[in-house]
Structure 1
């Protein structure tokens, strides 16, 4: 099946613009752009967009809803993709997510880590998991934010639980910047948590931080993976499913 030429050109142009932003941010932060990976978040977008991205060399694909991710992963199973689950995840969805995801960015509690590990083991798979850290100001006072994440003070304990499961690999950390406040400051706190985890687990080097609106701040504060949706695919349409 041939791709819509206009859509290909639009995504190609958006991808070039995003890569230019990444390169400029890396230059400003005195970092090598090769240190930063781009995860294309295809929320509400059809599997055809995933195919277009793959044709342009983007093979790290992210989704935040299992209802959308599972059929999309199945529809593109012929492609050599790495699937990233980046949204809040209920434990009862662990079996489904463990069947197709390669990396789960949003592990924020022991029970979820255990469920993912057990389901991955049953499927004969191995999952890389990131500790999602809550960066909302209230988290420092023990009040967790609405988008999930473990209290920064508890991140090392959760990392140990992930690392201790035979079917899981501890990859590093992930966070979403608070809607209010300075993303540089928030991502700076994430970097501190990442360093504490990496000191104990040297292979846990991933810092998943930064989206279309704040990727520059994330790169300045050490992000290794950016989760970009709108910057690549335009404004999102209605949620599917």
Structure 2
């Protein structure tokens, strides 16, 4: 085993232990939580190692990095999640490789994703990104739609050709009432998910939690956690 593969395997094992322990503490089955490894800034060779180690879900947040990497790894049994803020001029490229876009935050993006998915003859999973720091009239600092806009946006996705409404996503707010209160933030997202499922029962994904706060996300009821550095280590940011 190469040094890099051994390093990733060891880190993956530690993250797996954390998820399992968090599930046990929350009285949840381990199968209820899916690990998505965030591979941004890491090379395609790392993605290949992850696939060899059994990872099936990977995430990227910049199309210019993701598109060539996904092409290089197109032979692997992976689902690619796009988790970054998405400009409409990148939509056609993203739809060519992503199975899910977790950062749907405005009607114009829904329209663009729908047109691209239909043209590519693909069904694209979509999560509504919720800006919890915009709940009380604040401004979402990390992207997303204000909570009072979830219902309308979800309806647009659900009715758009080529798109599938899969659920909700958030990033723990750095400001506002939930700053430093990750578990409370994630619990609020789960409350919004419950409301959403009343109208859209199949939209049951709740994507929340990263390397530093995955335990809080699992405790709150997240179905998917997005972990990068805890699995792949800390790398210099790409320019």
Residue 93 of structure 1 aligns with which residue?
90
CA contact (8 A) 1:43 1:236 kept: no
* 1:181 CA displacement: 2.2
Aligned length in residues:
235
Paired residue for 1:207? 206
Deviations 1:208-233 (A, max 9, x none): 00000000110011100010000100
> C-alpha separation between the residues in 1 aligned to 2:74 and 2:130?
31
CA distance in 2, matches of 1:28, 1:125: 39
Q: Is the 8 A contact 1:173 1:208 kept in 2?
A: yes
Which residue number in structure 2 is paired with residue 192 of structure 1?
191
Structure 2 unaligned segments of length 5 or more: list them.
Answer: none
Paired with 1:19 and 1:157, the residues of 2 have a C-alpha distance of: 36
* TM-score normalised over the length of structure 2: 0.96
Q: Deviating runs (4+, > 4 A) in structure 1?
A: none
Aligned-pair CA distance for 1:142:
2.6
TM-score, L = length of structure 1 = 0.95
Aligned match of 1:23: 20
Q: Does 1:146 align with 2:141?
A: yes
- What is the CA–CA distance in structure 2 between the aligned matches of 1:150 and 1:236, rounded to whole Å? 30
Q: Give the aligned CA root-mean-square deviation in angstroms.
A: 1.0
Q: 1:226 & 1:15 partners in 2: Cα distance?
A: 13
Aligned ranges for residues 1-241 of structure 1 at < 5 Å?
Answer: 5-136=2-133, 139-179=134-174, 180-239=179-238
Contact 2:140 2:146 in 1 (8 A): no
CA distance in 2, matches of 1:121, 1:220: 37
Distance 1:140 1:42 in 2: 30
Q: Distance in 2 between matches of 1:238 and 1:197?
A: 36
Distance 2:194 2:149 in 1: 14
- CA-CA distance at 1:105 after TM superposition: 0.3
